[in-house]
Amino acid sequence: MPRKKGKAISFDAMVKFFMQNYNIPTKKDVDLLIARLDRLENLIKSTIRSNHPKNYGARGKNALTAVDIVLDTIRRSNQGINFAQIQAKTGFDEKKIRNIIFRLNKTGKIKRKSRGVYIAD
């Protein structure tokens, strides 16, 4: 008995059947995912840029610099304050405090009372 010929199946139809049956993403699916990822990356970049301190522009009138904080700490002590106390109160590292003290001393805003002890001028 001769075999009955059915409808011819195209290669494209077979590929489409397997892709749907095994949940294989199509080019359209991949393009949609890429577009979604691009939007998320842009959102993350804009959030990072808006939270970055450099983007705040000029300092506000009430913004304190590290020099202002150290100078204020020295001014608050009546008998003078030593290096370790300045470091404990401000939380700055040693190199930063040494540079600030040097600058304040050079500009005449503070004086050395004795070795390692500073007073406001």
* Residue count (the chain): 121
Please check the confidence at residue 4 and state whether its pLDDT lies above 70: no
Torsion angle of alpha carbons 25, 29, 31, 32, nearest 10°?
-150
Element containing residue 117 per DSSP (H, E)? strand 117-120
Question: What does residue 66 show for φ and ψ, rounded to 5 degrees?
Answer: -65, -35
**Which of the pair, 59 or 107, is modelled with greater confidence?**
107
Whole-angstrom Cα distance, residue 75 to residue 69?
A: 10
Please check the confidence at residue 1 and state whether its pLDDT lies above 70: no
pLDDT of 34-67, one tens digit each? 999 999 999 888 887 766 554 444 555 667 899 9
The domain ranges of the chain are 11-54, 66-120
What does the mean pLDDT of the chain come to? 86
* CATH fold of 66-120: Arc Repressor Mutant, subunit A (1.10.10)
Give me the pLDDT at residue 60, please: 59
Structure tokens at 30: 């991949």
Whole-angstrom Cα distance, residue 28 to residue 17?
A: 16
Give me the pLDDT at residue 63, please: 74
Q: Read off the pLDDT band of 110 (50, 70, 90).
A: very high
pLDDT of 61-89, one tens digit each? 667 899 999 999 999 998 999 999 999 99
Element containing residue 22 per DSSP (H, E)? none
Helices 66-76 and 83-90 cross at an angle (nearest 10°) of 120
Whole-angstrom Cα distance, residue 66 to residue 79?
A: 22
